[in-house]
Structure formats: C-alpha cells, structure tokens
Amino acid sequence: MNRRDLLRFAFGVPLLAPSVAITLAPPVMAGQEVAQARPPAKKARPPKLVMIDPGHGGHDPGAIGRYHNTFEKDVVLDISKEMARLIGRNAGTNVVLTRDSDTFIELPQRRQMARQAKADLFISIHADSAPNRNARGLSAYTLAEKASDDFAAAIAKQENLAGGLGLDMGDLDENVAAILVDLAARHTRTAALHAKQSIISGAGKDIRLLDNPMRAANFAVLKAPEVPSLLIETGFLSNKQDEQLLRDSSARKRIAGILARELSAVLAAAPFA
C-alpha cells in the first residue's frame, strides 16, 4: 500500500487533487432564465470483492481425520469452490479463490494476494484438529495478538508458519506512520469483528456451532493490515461426528450454502457497503 492509498484508507476521504483553474460563469442578464442546476451523477459503485482461501493444499494436507484419514485440504477446497460459485451469482459481487486446485501456497503469499486484489473481505476456510476430541461444530476467528483462550491459541499455533504485517510506509515520519497504521488496523478489526458476529449469528440458526464459536488468536494468514480477515473452522477432523459430516458431499454443500448466504449478507451491509 503506498502512502497516498493508506492516507485515503485511514481517513476515509479522498485526497485533494492538484489545483485547477477556476472559470467564472458569465453574469445572467435581465429576462434570462437561470438553468436548473442538475445534481452530479452518482458514480457506479464498484463490485465488492471477497477472497476465499481454502487452507493447506499440495504437499500440506492440513489436519488428517482421526477415524477415516480425511484430508483437510480436500474438504475445504470443495466447500470453498461451492461458496465461490454461490456468492458469484450475486450482482455486484466478485469472488476470487486463492487456490482452485490441489496446490500449496505459503501463508504470507495468501494474505498478499488479498492485499493486491484489494479485497473487501478475506475468508480462510479450515477443518483443523482440535486440542480435544470432543470439540465439534463451526466457529470463526479474527486476529488478536493475544488469543482469546487456550483453545484459540492452540488452533492458531498449528496453522501458523510465518507472521508480520509487511506494511511499507516509505519515508513517512515514524510517529505519523504509527498513527496511520493504528487507524487502518482499527478499521480492519472493526470490519472483521462485524463479519464474524454476523456470520456466526446467522449460521447458528441452521448448523451446529462450537461452544463459544467466536474467538480470536494470532493467525498469520489474517495479518493483511487493510483487509478485514477471518478464519472459519467448518468443523474438526479430530472429532468422529464432524469428520463423518465433512466426508459427506451433501453436507459440505449445505455448509457452503449457509456460509455463502451469510457472507453475501455481510457484503451487502456496512461497513462493506
């Protein structure tokens, strides 16, 4: 993100354009009618962009089911592709997948893809192993330097390969840069929290949720500083019932449909409007 883009993002207002010459309209003579001023035409709002990130892939299978050797990378790719298909049918919404085949992508590259695409929302889809075999159900996680609990910390630990914000602040004064980064981070966190709460609230009406399904931890893949990001665990392959559910193609399709429905609602509402 260059300095001009960051300023625009942090303060939410357009930067001043270069000065232009001002031409005065000729005076209106007696008897002439003043033309009705027309309001400026509204610019068409650009389509919103959601980036869906199927976790793992290639030589990294992710979690492996304890009972049936189900690979996380296969489960989440199937769910993500169906989500992308459903969300992509919405007018005014574009969808991009970080991967659409069995390929491996480093975590820093995944978040960089979201930044380069200027995504409005980044969703990383997973089906990990939990610290205990009884844990099951869908849950959502946002970024936090300190995990909300030991469970979230354990999930983040097994997911992380690298970290870092990666902001290039150029030649800005370090105090100014720190303020701008903080403003951008606050906006990003607020938007991500809104998305997490909305998705869990809506999905919980139709699907089993993990106990305390809204958590936070220091996930490397969520560290794009200007892109609201969250990680969704569709279930846990360490649990017998969840693994059986996630092995079922019709169940995966249902999970994808619920998540697509809720994501579409989030993208249609503030702060993404």
23-52 pLDDT, tens per residue? Answer: 344 544 545 554 555 666 666 678 899 999
Region of residue 170 (left: phi > 0; alpha: psi -120 to 50; beta: else): left
**Cα radius of gyration (the chain):** 22
The two tokens of residue 17 are 């354009």
What pLDDT does residue 241 have? Answer: 98
Residues 179-237 pLDDT 10s: 444 555 667 888 999 999 999 999 999 999 999 999 999 999 998 888 999 999 999 99
Q: What is the pTM of this model?
A: 0.78
How would you classify the pairing of strands 93-97 and 121-126? unpaired
Average pLDDT over residues 263-267: 94
Average pLDDT over residues 264-272: 81
Beta partners for residue 141, in sequence order? 215, 231
The two tokens of residue 242 are 């969840």
Q: Which residues contact 211 (CB under 8 A, 6 or more apart)?
A: 135, 137
Low-confidence winner among 4-13, 130-139, 226-235, 242-251 (lowest mean pLDDT): 4-13
Say how far apart CA 200 and CA 248 lie, in whole Å: 22
Phi–psi pair at 235, nearest 5 degrees: 160, -175
Confidence of residue 6 (pLDDT cuts 50, 70, 90): very low
Average pLDDT over residues 234-245: 97
Average pLDDT over residues 81-87: 97
The SS3 assignment for 54 reads strand
What pLDDT does residue 146 have? Answer: 87
Confidence of residue 254 (pLDDT cuts 50, 70, 90): very high
What pLDDT does residue 225 have? Answer: 84
Beta partners for residue 64, in sequence order? 71
The SS3 assignment for 57 reads strand
Task: Give whole-number Cα distances, 155 to 114, 185, 212, 219, in Å.
Answer: 22, 23, 14, 9
Q: Is the pLDDT of residue 161 over 70?
A: no
Task: Identify the structural domains of the chain with CATH numbers, from first to last.
Answer: 46-267 (3.40.630.40)
How would you classify the pairing of strands 229-233 and 138-143? antiparallel
Burial (CB count <10 Å: 0-12, 13-18, 19+), residue 246: buried
